Amino acid sequence: MTQLPASTKKKLGLVIDLDTCVGCHACVISCKEWNTTSYGAPLSDVDAYGADPVGTFLNRVHTFEAKQEGCSAQTVHFPKSCLHCEDAPCVTVCPTGASYKREEDGIVLVNEDHCIGCGLCAWACPYGARELDKVEGVMKKCTLCVDRIYNENIPEEDRIPSCVKTCPAGARHFGDFNDPNSNVSILSAARGGMDLMPEQGTKPVNKYLPPRPKADIVPELDVLGPLLAQNEKTGGFLGWLDRTLEKL
Amino acid sequence: MHPAPSVIIFTALSGLGFGLMFWMGLGLPAVEGTTAAIFAVLAMGLATIGLLSSMFHLGNPQRFLRALTQWKTSWLSREGILSIATLGVFFIYACLWAFLDNRVVLLGYLSSVMAMGTVFFTAMIYAQMKTVPRWNAMSTPLLFLLYAAGGGALLAAQMTEAMLLLAVLAVVQAGAWIQGDGAFAKSGSTIETATGLGALGKVRLLEKPHSGTNYLMTEMIHVIGRKHVTKLRVISISLMAVLPVVLILLTDVGHMVGGLLILLHLVGLFTARWLFFAEAEHVVGLYYDKR
Amino acid sequence: MKDGKVKYIEGNKDHPVNKGVLCAKGSAGIMQHYAPSRLRNPMKRVGERGEGKFEDISWDEAFEIAAGWLKPIRETAPEKLAFFTGRDQSQSMTSWWAQAFGTPNYAAHGGFCSVNMAAGGIYTMGGAFWEFGTPDWDRTKLFMIFGVAEDHDSNPIKIGLGKLKARGAKVIGVNPVRSGYNAIADEWVGITPGTDGLFILAMVHELLRAGKVDLDYLIRYTNLPFLVNTDETSDESGLMIRDADGKEMVWDRVNGKAVPWDTKGVKPALHGPQSVDGVTCKPAFEIMADKYMTDEYTPEAVADRCGISADRIRKIAAELAQVAFEEEIILDIPWTDFKGEKHDKMIGRPVSFHAMRGISAHSNGFQTARALHMLQILLGSVEVPGGMRFKPPYPKPVEGHPKPHHTVTPGKPLNGPHLGYPRGPEDLCIDADGKAKRIDKAFTWENPLSAHGMMHMVISNAHAGDPYKIDTLFMYMANMSWNSSMNTGGVMDMLRDKDANGEYVIPHIIYSDAYSSEMVAFADLIFPDTTYLERHDCISMLDRPISEADAMADSIRWPVVEPDRDVRGFQTALIQLGVKLGLPGMVDENGAAIYEDYADYITNHQRRPGIGPLAGFRGADGKGKGRGDPNPTQIQAYIDNGGFWIDHIDPENAYFKPWNKGYQEWAVKRGIFDVEMPYVFTVYQEILQKFRNAADGKGALQPPDHLRAQLSATMDPLPIWYEPFEQTIINQDEYPIHALTQRPMAMYHSWGSQNAWLRQIHGTNPLFVSGELWEQHGFTDGDWAVVTSIHGEIQVPAVRMDALNGKTIWTWNAIGKRKGAWALSEDAPEVTKGFLLNHLIHELLPPKGDGLRWANSDPITGQAAWFDLRVKIKRIPKPDHIQTKPDFAAQNSPVGQGPKNVSYGKEWT
Ligand SMILES: Nc1nc2c(c(=O)[nH]1)N[C@H]1C(S)=C(S)[C@@H](COP(=O)(O)OP(=O)(O)OC[C@H]3O[C@@H](n4cnc5c(=O)[nH]c(N)nc54)[C@H](O)[C@@H]3O)O[C@H]1N2
Ligand SMILES: Nc1nc2c(c(=O)[nH]1)N[C@H]1C(S)=C(S)[C@@H](COP(=O)(O)OP(=O)(O)OC[C@H]3O[C@@H](n4cnc5c(=O)[nH]c(N)nc54)[C@H](O)[C@@H]3O)O[C@H]1N2
Ligand code: SF4
Ligand code: SF4
Ligand code: SF4
Ligand code: SF4
Ligand code: SF4
Ligand SMILES: [Mo]
């Protein structure tokens, strides 16, 4: 059903910490690995060993540079998967009802058996979070690992998305944004979790934590400099040496 | 956006087909019998070829019936339903007209409204896309309607109407281009809003997520060919509107000239439609530092 | 696993190292395991070397051929076998094999990898970063990381950085390139390559001047109070003053006399000239302070060369001091030191450091690594809470390591382990005429402390017949004809080169690979290996185990899938070959095999009585920890335990390990040492001074004259900085640019490219050009670049990068591929747009005009100086025909080409 629920009981999603992501692509591959063998049709790779390999991925990591005039530039690794938007335009455009947003937890999914592969939902998504699988002809997107997070067959502590579980740096967090005490709500509040392209009006659930200010870009007051200068006035190096030795 | 031939053919031909239906719904051209049948077949043929062509764009066309279920929210679904309904209504109307010589006027008006409705719904598939600021404007349905009505008029050999409509079309199309050129900037989406990194300075892409290409890039990012935009705009507007208008004004349109007009218009229309896609910039391009 | 196929590879959350996380390569293991490039059969070459034309043979025939070459050599001149292995985890086993064979020519790849880091650490503090040390991630407050893109310990580093980020602790990244770890560093120091030593020593200058060093720590735990002979005329000049028992002496400033350094309660002097038995001497501390407090090391003096402002250097030094001394942490854990002194608490200096090839892969890398360790030690931050900690079997001083052995007896094993840590000129592997005994010339006056051997010199020396010719080159898991070599094109020529009789100059090449790599094409005989999911492996305490700072741990891999091809685990094949050759330790007195395969070896081999490849579950009852008889069910015990064994260190023994009585006792109990081995850090390293003395004409063993100056200049007992060699020879105005590589996190050297998933991420490797150079040369988007060094030229696609040292260009390592390799199509992007920087590098320095071959290596350890490379660059428009240069002819693929499309998991949907 492509009508969006007025509200969802839970608001499950991710917090992605741009201050911590090292750009290792572990989440990209882990996502591909889990989803190609688990949820719906496999994520194919066309021309896999050839000149123009193109595969389907549900999560990709971009790398950006940001630079202010006169300062050193900064590199930001930027993972991006479906943001499970509250006002998901990808859902409402779908002619078949294959795309839907779940009322119980807000996850946006595609019912691959109903999908005709028209690609419209991918057009409607501002974030590039949907990819049409060339071999299967169906739309693929992040499922928030719905087949892990409720999966009774895997240990409870592993019932988190594959990408979150694997992220070595701990840059990805999973939880319920409807619960103000959840890890994601707390983190997002504390670190200024932001929306991507808010002007698109999609109300993304996933939040991004901005990089913390860099000491080489935001000038720091040299509060410590004088620390090293103290010695000068009191007999220099040898004076200090003898004084200190006496104390030992 | 990638100017996929299937989608260009779909929108262009079905537009013409439904445009012709619109005129026939009004009883134009005033023909009967076999001639009417031929016109009707032309209209329905164009619409059907267009619709079928759109199926080539689908990954799983065998499931297309499912696309008729989501009329509450989806313009594509609405378009699908309405186009089929229109074809049905028009088919009955045309049969009665051609074979029983009984043109039911009300049925005709209904077909006209439905045909234009279909074109409008088609246009709304594009116009609704906030992600493609160039399309996301009322000029999009207006243009589609004008293309359908103008082109339909040509096909229906309604030269005066065609001349007027094409003249309006030329103006609206030119306006849409100009407005479209500023639409992306006006949408407010930038690489900075896309990444949320604006506070850190000017943002640029250092590395794509994959060294090769991917579905998003081939589908949504089309930078090649835009170099020739101005030239193509001139060609398209001249062929699809200006020349036909001039020809209609200056000549006495017979079959030969009529055919030529249609041909010119078609080439212009396809060029315009190619531009419609090729020029459209999807905001996802921001993540690739390309538009 | 599902239906006999691998379904999903996930991290083991109980695993001490990975804690359940996996990197991209780990998760892409499925594509690795099912790669179409897997070799299928033993093969013998039928075409010319380099062509890649092979004929499948049986294992019996493969062993027959190999034994046919090796048996005669062993009986007559075992040194004619050169056996070199790559980045494997079985060096304790392969070296045991080579020793049994009797050749002195064995080493793994450490010489071109990071021996500077390893040796710099071991010669300074009995342990290194690399895999042997770790920041105290849970407690450190300021972490400084030098020259690391990924490292071996990459998951732990990422987990650790994540912990720091979660706590909001500060990370400073020192690297010309701001990517990866440096991208998330809170402060980036975009240093000019090759100048880290200067930067560090300038900080040392500042800290000394300000008195911000941990004197108590230095007195207790380092040799800085030791008295150094200052009589320049003495043969012992610069060496420690020793008592009759050979104990180093300190000056007791309370009683005014020299006493052995470990005298209980002694209060040693740190300055003031003294004389002991008429020999003038000074505490090493004073020599050190005098050295670094000169103007040579002021921030102002180094700022320009480092590309870091003097204020910045001062500020960072101050920050280190602030955190180390004003924010010290105290653990209320009592412990006892080796002198028996009891401490009621543990004082921690929460600054920690890590470094890798960025400082290591330069010709001044050994001394730079030492400088960094000295900085850590001056701050009192090694083996303390919040600082850097060792992972068992480290700490282990030089004395705990073997010396190199090289005595060859035809038909007999070598007289001891090949590799080790020389204590002086007497331990060099040279004959009476000073000629190298090893084909790689490791442990010679040219690079005396080449503790890991010099694999990068083997092919070049064997080709030149310098120091002698060899018969068989046997290699394993090293892509030496491609990304592993400097001067790739030259190496391919050497491997192909024939003598006047039409025979190959290097007569036989045996190679073991698991995949159709570039090196396969150059071998005469191929031993196809399994993939890692099809064999036993052992990550052993005898090698590079998976220990943590508070635990010793080792692990295994065991076959989870049966090979569907005629392949064998290399270690098993090696044992079988050893049996065929009748090597001691591999056959019993009747010539029967002692070990059936590698699993049998892992279980039953004993290095010393009670000590074997695996430390866990030893003894008949499986309860032995570290020591114990072989346990026939040991491997199963590991499997039942998740593949690893771990034994935690009690908290009171977990810090101050080199000096902690409790730790030392535990280490002996666990078989890490046979006797307790407490020691002090050798900030002042006498062993280096011994070589210097020799260079000055002292002692019986004398270097050749042409090396005297180099030895004298570089073998300083205290860390120094000198200019990387290449730039001292070339014209720096002509080649003003530094060119580097970095490992992509999502790729493993050359073999990520056969992986259908990973190759989509890094299928090409642009040349990243700094914004400064980009504008200076007028580059625009899409342009290509011609990059020229004194050795060669490449033509490659270029991309702008602003977060990069202005004088630097770089690219991802090992993405470029030779046509036809890895079962990729010949127009794969790795071939058409990918490239190697290696074509610009050379294993030798540019000729100096003295007719000698000077290695492009660190003069102390022989470490390959990959990052000394200097180039010039020219903008060119994108070529019409997209093909990077040099462009080599295709090699034939013995495994065909991979399938068109992959839909992994299709059968399960
Ligand atoms: N993903 C992945 N992981 C790997 C490997 C792999 O191939 N892929 N290979 C493994 C192997 S064999 C090794 S040896 C390790 C190596 O691990 P790293 O030491 O991380 O190796 P490199 O990628 O060579 O990184 C060297 C870094 O030093 C920087 N650098 C170069 N010159 C200087 C300098 O003068 N000063 C400073 N401060 N920095 C400098 C470079 O910019 C680069 O960031 O990684 C291991 N881990
Ligand atoms: N320009 C530049 N060059 C460099 C470096 C650099 O930083 N810059 N780094 C250098 C360093 S530190 C290193 S360690 C080298 C690494 O370079 P290599 O040692 O060449 O490493 P790999 O590419 O990993 O290749 C090793 C070979 O092992 C094979 N292999 C993989 N798995 C198995 C297996 O299970 N069994 C067997 N038998 N074979 C297997 C692969 O197919 C490959 O042919 O590169 C060096 N080259
Ligand atoms: S990110 Fe895109 S695909 Fe996901 S819910 Fe939002 S609009 Fe839909
Ligand atoms: S591609 Fe599938 S999910 Fe997307 S809009 Fe079309 S039918 Fe719906
Ligand atoms: S939540 Fe699951 S599906 Fe979504 S990006 Fe992460 S791993 Fe992929
Ligand atoms: S796994 Fe974590 S650190 Fe690595 S790219 Fe993904 S989010 Fe970033
Ligand atoms: S870092 Fe190495 S061992 Fe760890 S998951 Fe990656 S490939 Fe496997
Ligand atoms: Mo390495």
Domain locations in chain A as residue ranges: 12-209, 220-248
Instruction: Please report the sign of the dihedral spanned by the C-alpha atoms of residue C536, residue C541, residue C545, residue C551.
Output: positive
Mind telling me how many Å the CA of B55 is from chain A's nearest CA? Answer: 8
Q: Long-range contacts for B275-278 (Cβ within 8 Å, ≥24 apart)?
A: B275/B229, B275/B232, B275/B233, B275/B236, B276/B11, B276/B126, B276/B135, B277/B1, B277/B2, B277/B3, B277/B4, B277/B7, B277/B8, B277/B222, B278/B1, B278/B3, B278/B222, B278/B225, B278/B226, B278/B229
Which of C8, C33, C184 should one mutate to test binding to chain A, selecting the residue with the greatest count of A CBs within 10 A?
C184
- Say whether the peptide bond before residue C886 is cis (omega within 30 degrees of 0): yes
In DSSP terms, C146 is beta-bridged to C174, C355
Q: Is A85 left (phi over 0), alpha (psi -120 to 50) or beta?
A: beta
Q: What CA–CA distances, in Å, run from C466 to C449, C486, C865?
A: 20, 18, 21
- Say whether the peptide bond before residue B29 is cis (omega within 30 degrees of 0): yes
User: Which residues have CB under 8 Å from A206's CB, separation 6+?
Assistant: A13, A14, A15, A16, A81, A82, A83, A84
A234 pLDDT more than 80 = no
- Find, in chain C, the residue whose alpha carbon is nearest to that of A57: C757
Nearest Cα residue to C129 out of C351, C401, C349, C356: C356
pLDDT digits (tens, 9 = 90+) for B4-17: 999 999 999 999 99
Pairing of β C274-276 and β C257-260:
unpaired
The residue whose two tokens read 């439609």 is B273
* Gap between the Cα atoms of C175 and C181, Å rounded: 10
A101 Cβ closer than 6 Å to some ligand 3 atom? no
Q: Are C512 and C477 in contact, with CB atoms under 8 Å apart?
A: yes
Decide: helix, strand or coil at residue C248: strand
pLDDT digits (tens, 9 = 90+) for C244-293: 999 999 999 999 999 999 998 899 999 998 899 999 999 999 999 999 99
C517 Cβ closer than 6 Å to some ligand 2 atom? yes
| Residue ranges with strand state E in chain B | 202-207
Which chains have at least 3 CB atom pairs separated by less than 8 Å from chain A? B, C
Name the average pLDDT for chain C: 96
Name the average pLDDT for chain A: 94
ipTM of the complex, rounded to two decimals: 0.96
> How wide is the angle at C-alpha C813 spanned by C-alphas C809 and C818, nearest 5°?
115
Nearest Cα residue to C202 out of C121, C365, C317: C317
* Right CATH for A12-209 from 3.40.1380.10, 3.30.70.20, 3.30.230.10, 3.30.360.10: 3.30.70.20
* Gap between the Cα atoms of C379 and B6, Å rounded: 70
Q: What is the pLDDT of residue A162?
A: 96
What parts of chain B have a pLDDT lower than 70? 225
Ligand nearest to the CA of C745: 1
**Phi and psi at residue C901, to the nearest 5°:** -115, 155
pLDDT digits (tens, 9 = 90+) for C88-103: 889 999 999 999 999 9
Partner residue facing C899 (CB), from A48, A67, A222: A48
Q: Are C656 and C383 in contact, with CB atoms under 8 Å apart?
A: yes
A205 Cβ closer than 6 Å to some ligand 3 atom? no
Q: What is the pLDDT of residue A182?
A: 98
Domains of chain C: 127-393 (3.40.228.10), 684-717 (no CATH), 725-876 (2.40.40.20)
Q: Are B114 and B43 in contact, with CB atoms under 8 Å apart?
A: no
Mutate to test the pocket of ligand 3, among A14, A108, A110, A196 (most ligand atoms within 8 A of CB): A108
User: Which residues have CB under 8 Å from C112's CB, separation 6+?
Assistant: C454, C455, C456, C484, C486, C863, C864, C866
Say if the Cβ atoms of A197 and B68 lie within 8 Å. Answer: no
Say if the Cβ atoms of B130 and A115 lie within 8 Å. Answer: no
Mind telling me how many Å the CA of A64 is from chain B's nearest CA? Answer: 4
Mind telling me how many Å the CA of C88 is from chain B's nearest CA? Answer: 29
Q: What residues line ligand 1, using a CB cutoff of 6 Å?
A: C 87, 113-114, 146-152, 154, 174-177, 191, 193-194, 196, 356-359, 362, 740-743, 745, 747-749, 867
Q: What is the pLDDT of residue C168?
A: 94
In DSSP terms, A146 is beta-bridged to none
pLDDT digits (tens, 9 = 90+) for C301-351: 999 999 999 999 999 999 999 999 999 999 999 999 999 999 999 999 999
b/e sequence C866-901, b meaning 16+ C-beta within 10 Å:
bbbbbbbbebeeeeeeeebeeebeebebbbebbeeb
Average pLDDT over residues A194-207: 98
- Total structural domains within chain B: 1
* Gap between the Cα atoms of C190 and C53, Å rounded: 47
Q: Tell me how far apart the terminal alpha carbons of chain A are, to the nearest angstrom.
A: 77
* Gap between the Cα atoms of C659 and C262, Å rounded: 12
Q: Are B153 and B165 in contact, with CB atoms under 8 Å apart?
A: yes
**Domain CATH for B212:** 1.20.1630.10
Q: Are C249 and C243 in contact, with CB atoms under 8 Å apart?
A: yes
Nearest Cα residue to A79 out of A26, A35, A120: A26
> Residue type at A210?
P
Q: What is the pLDDT of residue C147?
A: 98
User: Which residues have CB under 8 Å from C645's CB, separation 6+?
Assistant: C553, C554, C555, C614, C615, C616, C617, C637, C638
Q: Give A247's pLDDT tier (boundaries 50, 70, 90).
A: confident
Please give the biggest Cα pair distance in chain C. 87
Q: What is the pLDDT of residue B121?
A: 97
* Gap between the Cα atoms of C6 and C541, Å rounded: 29
Q: What is the pLDDT of residue C791?
A: 94
What parts of chain C have a pLDDT lower than 70? none
Burial class of residue C302, CB neighbours in 10 A (0-12, 13-18, 19+): buried
Please give the biggest Cα pair distance in chain A. 84
Q: Which helix (H) or strand (E) holds C208?
A: helix C196-209
SS3 content of chain C, % helix, strand, coil (to 5): 30, 20, 50
User: Which residues have CB under 8 Å from C135's CB, separation 6+?
Assistant: C143, C160, C352, C353, C354, C387, C388, C389
Q: Are C213 and C379 in contact, with CB atoms under 8 Å apart?
A: yes
| Neighbouring C-beta atoms of residue C306, cutoff 10 Å | 25
Q: What is the pLDDT of residue A224?
A: 65
Q: Are B39 and B108 in contact, with CB atoms under 8 Å apart?
A: no
Domain containing residue B259: 5-288
Nearest Cα residue to C392 out of C192, C623, C671: C671
Say if the Cβ atoms of B211 and C829 lie within 8 Å. Answer: yes
Q: Tell me how far apart the terminal alpha carbons of chain C are, to the nearest angstrom.
A: 15
Q: Which helix (H) or strand (E) holds C897?
A: none
DSSP state, residue C538: E
* Percent share of chain C, pLDDT over 90: 93
Q: What is the pLDDT of residue A221?
A: 60
Decide: helix, strand or coil at residue C571: helix
DSSP state, residue C520: G
Name the average pLDDT for chain B: 94
pTM of structure: 0.96
* Gap between the Cα atoms of B52 and A177, Å rounded: 44
- In the structure encoding, which two tokens stand for residue A99, read together? 């795309």
